Amino acid sequence: MRRSLLVSIGDQALNSAVSLLLSLWLIAVWPPERFGAFGLIVNLAFIAQSLHNALAGAHLPVLLAGSREDEERRRVAAMLSLVTIATAALSGLFTVASLAAADPSGALDLLAAASAYVAIGVVREHLRLLGFSLFLPGRVLIADLACHAVMVLVLLAVHGLEPPSLALVFWALAAGSLMGALVGLLPRRRLFLLRADRDLPRRLASLWREQARWAVAGVLVGQAQSRGYIFLVGAIFGLAAVGVVNAALMILRPLNLLLTAWAAFARPRLARHYAQGEGAAAHRLAHVSAAGFAVATLCYGAVLLVAWPYLTAHVFEAAYVGIAAAVALCLLASLMTEIRYVYALELQTVPRFREAFVASAAGCAVVFVAFAALLAFEDPAMSFLALALGETAALVVAVRYLRGVTHAGRGPDGAAACDRTPA
């Protein structure tokens, strides 16, 4: 278990480093308007991956943990592979439609690159989750190394160190994701194959009825809570303001990627704890994780404080006005997001998707009310304060529900009474 955790952390450290270096380079060579457009497309990719998580990713470790036979595990994996492919296709089409609606005269090259990046990213993320669910983090690391190597080679081969176009960056990211997906697919082809299954419609209907409908509802309000403010900033303050907000997010993205690494490690373990009736062990893992994220966030903030003179001198142009305040408030929002996410993920692995949806809905309502109230400051950075308040509200609701699980979740034999896996 310790080795798996170290490999998972190493994998996410790699992803964080590559993402941060790419973002710093783009911030340094691009004006805020172009980086703002980049950020909006990246957020569309995150929304697509969150939708996949609601329809397939969140259920993968839970259903695999509850499957006792290899044949049943293959049927579960095949069902969720079908859902993944459909989600990827719809996400690519939605990306094209969104960009075309925002700019009808937009370049076809950018539309194709952005849609490929979003769609392939969904498949790659599913294969990463599959690797972690099978407790094979080393194979995930190899696939991610291949992904980043191809992305860097494409950028260097086409433009060297010259400022690239938006389309080129997304073609490079799409090529890297494709390589990562292919490498990730090789060792587990049997778990990503479409297969004839007469019982598939019933199984999909059961998954939707028992879990996925609440997970999708939770994603819709969760994404509105955690990313909706970015689109509001663009509509109210313009793309340059989105560039400043997105620059702050990218500077702090290593923390979010650390959260992704933790989720890949913790989701199957939390699911296994609840499948085996070990609710107390799940709670301990969540509490220790939340404390660890608080320490990591404070340490990262201290590193940023030391590095700030260098960043302002060599990365941020004069056009990135207000970036210091945006980063400070974003650090607060990141802290609350991380702690809230730990307990939201625990709710999902019980599984209690309806309760997770209610927590997200409460947080979403607070974010938009706070955003409207903070418009009086006429500062896009205040959107991070609105996000922090919303995350705090969602955290309070999630913790209250988890206390109910602790209180009512044990039967006479000590097993969790809420353990249930759909057929």
Residue 345 or residue 423, greater confidence: 345
**For position 60, what pLDDT does the model report?**
77
**For position 107, what pLDDT does the model report?**
82
Hey, what are 371's tokens? Answer: 């955003």
Section 4-24 average pLDDT: 81
Section 183-206 average pLDDT: 68
Are the C-beta atoms of residues 27 and 315 closer than 8 Å to each other?
yes
Q: Which amino acid type is present at position 55?
A: L
Are the C-beta atoms of residues 242 and 30 closer than 8 Å to each other?
no
Residue 410, beta-bridge partner list: 416
Reply yes or no on whether the pLDDT at 190 is more than 70: no
Reply yes or no on whether the pLDDT at 178 is more than 90: yes
**For position 415, what pLDDT does the model report?**
37
Q: How many residues does the chain have?
A: 423
- Among 56-70, 327-341, 374-388, 402-416, the range scoring the smallest mean pLDDT is 402-416
Instruction: Indicate the pLDDT class of residue 29, thresholds 50, 70 and 90.
Output: confident
Reply yes or no on whether the pLDDT at 82 is more than 60: yes
Section 312-318 average pLDDT: 77
The 3-class SS string of the chain reads CHHHHHHHHHHHHHHHHHHHHHHHHHHHHCCHHHHHHHHHHHHHHHHHHHHHHHHHHCCHHHHHHHCCCHHHHHHHHHHHHHHHHHHHHHHHHHHHHHHHHHCCCCCHHHHHHHHHHHHHHHHHHHHHHHHHHCCCHHHHHHHHHHHHHHHHHHHHHHHCCCCCCHHHHHHHHHHHHHHHHHHHHHHHHHHCCCCCCCCHHHHHHHHHHHHHHHHHHHHHHHHHHHHHHHHHHHHHHCHHHHHHHHHHHHHCHHHHHHHHHHHHHHHHHHHHHHHCCCHHHHHHHHHHHHHHHHHHHHHHHHHHHHHHHHHHHHCCCCCCCCHHHHHHHHHHHHHHHHHHHHHHHHHHHCCCHHHHHHHHHHHHHHHHHHHHHHHHHCCCCHHHHHHHHHHHHHHHHHHHHHHHHHHHCECCCCCECCCCCCC
Distance, in Å, from the CA atom of 127 to the CA atom of 342, rounded to the nearest integer, reads: 22
The closest of 192, 173, 169, 238 to 74, measured between CA atoms, is 192
**For position 152, what pLDDT does the model report?**
92
**For position 187, what pLDDT does the model report?**
61
Whole-number Cα distances in Å, 398 to 205, 224, 389: 27, 17, 14
Section 214-223 average pLDDT: 76
Chain CA centroid to CA 77, Å? 21
Section 223-251 average pLDDT: 85
**For position 347, what pLDDT does the model report?**
87
- Which of 111-120, 214-223, 266-275 has the highest mean predicted lDDT (pLDDT)? 111-120
Are the C-beta atoms of residues 14 and 6 closer than 8 Å to each other?
no
Q: What is the percent of the chain where pLDDT is above 70?
A: 87
Reply yes or no on whether the pLDDT at 58 is more than 80: no
Residue 195 or residue 18, greater confidence: 18
- Among 143-147, 283-287, 354-358, the range scoring the smallest mean pLDDT is 354-358
Instruction: Indicate the pLDDT class of residue 354, thresholds 50, 70 and 90.
Output: confident
Domain boundaries, the chain: 2-406
- Among 54-58, 187-191, 309-313, the range scoring the smallest mean pLDDT is 187-191
Section 62-87 average pLDDT: 78
Are the C-beta atoms of residues 37 and 24 closer than 8 Å to each other?
no
Instruction: Indicate the pLDDT class of residue 417, thresholds 50, 70 and 90.
Output: very low
- Among 18-22, 191-195, 254-258, the range scoring the smallest mean pLDDT is 191-195
Distance, in Å, from the CA atom of 11 to the CA atom of 18, rounded to the nearest integer, reads: 11
To 10 degrees, what angle do helices 253-275 and 239-251 make? 60
- Among 168-182, 204-218, 275-289, 401-415, the range scoring the smallest mean pLDDT is 401-415
**For position 131, what pLDDT does the model report?**
83
Reply yes or no on whether the pLDDT at 28 is more than 60: yes
Instruction: Indicate the pLDDT class of residue 355, thresholds 50, 70 and 90.
Output: confident
- The reported pTM is 0.70
To 10 degrees, what angle do helices 382-408 and 279-314 make? 170
Instruction: Indicate the pLDDT class of residue 408, thresholds 50, 70 and 90.
Output: very low
